[in-house]
Structure 1
Amino acid sequence: KDSGDIASHRFLMKAFQALRPGDAVLSEEGADNSHRIGADRVWIIDPLDGTNEYGERGRLDWAVHIALWEHTQLTAAAVSLPAHNMVFATDPAPPLPPRRSDKPRIITSRNRAPYAAVLVANELECDAVRLGSAGAKAMAVVLGEADIYIHDGGMYQWDSAAPSGVAAAAGMHVSRIDGSPLIYNSPDAWLPDFLVCRPELAEPVLDALWGDRWRAHRDNGWQ
């Protein structure tokens, strides 16, 4: 299954070298380089998100992530779900889907529900939707197949950059699980948590996690 990660990485790197030779790249499958910190343009990519799912016969919930960071922020992103023959991008952005259920639907992993997701599910009386990769989970929210995706078990910038860019362009709430902004192209590629949800559910979700503390944190400029 790891051969899929490497093959996808090599394919994408060849394309960047041909089309954007001066741009920096942060890839799960490539060596990190401090050059990207001073670069004006950085591609943040996960050549194969959901390696385990990709390696299991019949699994469709794996993805490819590509995001472009320029001058402090993401400016373009795309998430591909190859097994579904689907690509989601920031231009044109997917429309905000109608809400399909009065009862919120929260995405959890196949094997273990993150503590934060359990807390929110209990507080908001959510139904559970089980999926594999981060990209597939975030795009399920974008498609309206779920309403909330929370990850608190540790991840890297390439895991969330493209999904967060596409979800935000679609009108979803996107943040850290304390409500603070997601910061990309920071020196440490580690970015431990991630929240994507319908905009009207952001306050209920953050209230369930933090009560009034997240508002005080926000009003203090996330200090």
Structure 2
Amino acid sequence: MTVVSDARLAAELAAEAGELLLLLRDAEAGTIDGRELGRKGDNASNVLLLDRLAAERPDDAVLSEESADDKARLTADRVWIIDPLDGSREYGLPDRADWAVHVALWTRGSGIAAAAVAQPALGAVYATDEVGAPPPAAGSRLRILVSDSRPPSFTGALEAALGAEIRPMGSAGAKAMAVLRGEAEAYVHAGGQWEWDSAAPVGVALAAGLHCSRIDGSELQYNESHPYLPDLLICRPDLADRILPQLVG
């Protein structure tokens, strides 16, 4: 039996979970409210991902947003960090495409070693083994993505200091992949996140050559005892020195 690489497995799992979420969304359209749809989607996607990981990588640990945190992962050498449905609010709203599935593998000594982000409503999967560099910037004005539900408190100051265009968007994965596609130059978050929110987007963004860090410029650390990782900057590497000084007071 051929064993697929970790990056290919991440891409396959993210795609499969995404297809399941699309089918569920279509089947439940108009029958339940958006919040309940998001809950059902989170649960169904989580079951699929856990089952597939148990079958394909039975010796690996898993940290999932939708499962109890087994602290045995702290001594494991390989930990899958998954967000079965990033942007459950957006998933539950009609005609929103800014939600995603995150699948990342953390390995001891290397950090995020493989990752994939699926955007099912766009028919897209981005993985560390296939992603390329973003296209050239479209113009001179910075386009910066922020959360549409929890924008950073310094958003107005950032807009003024950089002369930037601030664009709200759901899902951390959706925002990170928009930067990768060249639809924006940066994604900034400071409203609180967890490891599963950023692990896969950061893995893919790093593979594409983008800058990824905390807003103070420090390295993003994963598989920590308390998996809270509250802030994030993903941007084109040549812009990091311009943006970072505006993010810390």
The letter for the 2-side match of 1:179 is G
Number of the residue aligned with 1:221 = none
Are 2:178 and 1:155 equivalent residues in the alignment?
no
1:33 aligned residue (60, 70, 75): 70
SS in 1 for 2:102: strand
1:96 aligned residue (134, 140, 154): 134
2:153 aligned residue (115, 140, 146): 115
Matched-pair contact (CA < 8 Å) for 2:151–2:191: no
SS in 1 for 2:66: coil
Are 2:49 and 1:12 equivalent residues in the alignment?
yes
Matched-pair contact (CA < 8 Å) for 1:138–1:196: yes
- How big is the shift at 1:111? 4.2
User: Which residues of structure 1 form unaligned runs of 5+?
Assistant: 212-223
1:74 aligned residue (112, 118, 143): 112
Number of the residue aligned with 2:229 = 191
SS in 1 for 2:209: coil
TM score, norm. by length of structure 1: 0.91
- How big is the shift at 1:112? 4.8
- Percent same amino acid among aligned pairs? 53
- How big is the shift at 1:93? 2.3
Are 2:89 and 1:52 equivalent residues in the alignment?
yes
Alpha-carbon RMSD across the aligned residues, in angstroms, is 1.2
1: CA distance between counterparts of 2:134 and 2:178?
12
SS in 2 for 1:13: helix
The letter for the 2-side match of 1:67 is A
- How big is the shift at 1:110? 2.6
Number of the residue aligned with 2:215 = 177
Number of the residue aligned with 2:241 = 203
Number of the residue aligned with 1:146 = 184
- How big is the shift at 1:18? 0.6
SS in 2 for 1:77: strand
The letter for the 1-side match of 2:164 is C
SS in 2 for 1:115: coil
2: CA distance between counterparts of 1:21 and 1:9?
16
2: CA distance between counterparts of 1:208 and 1:193?
14
- How big is the shift at 1:122? 1.6
2: CA distance between counterparts of 1:185 and 1:119?
33
Cα distance change, pair 117–197 in 1 and its aligned pair in 2 (3 A): farther
Cα distance change, pair 103–194 in 1 and its aligned pair in 2 (3 A): same
- How big is the shift at 1:96? 2.7
- Range with greater deviation from structure 2 (1-10 or 117-126): 117-126
User: Which residues of structure 2 form unaligned runs of 5+?
Assistant: 1-36
Number of the residue aligned with 1:137 = 175
**Number of residue pairs matched?**
211
2: CA distance between counterparts of 1:158 and 1:130?
20
TM score, norm. by length of structure 2: 0.82
- How big is the shift at 1:113? 2.8
Cα distance change, pair 74–111 in 1 and its aligned pair in 2 (3 A): closer
- How big is the shift at 1:130? 2.2
Are 2:60 and 1:23 equivalent residues in the alignment?
yes
The letter for the 2-side match of 1:160 is S
- How big is the shift at 1:43? 0.2
Matched-pair contact (CA < 8 Å) for 1:174–1:195: yes
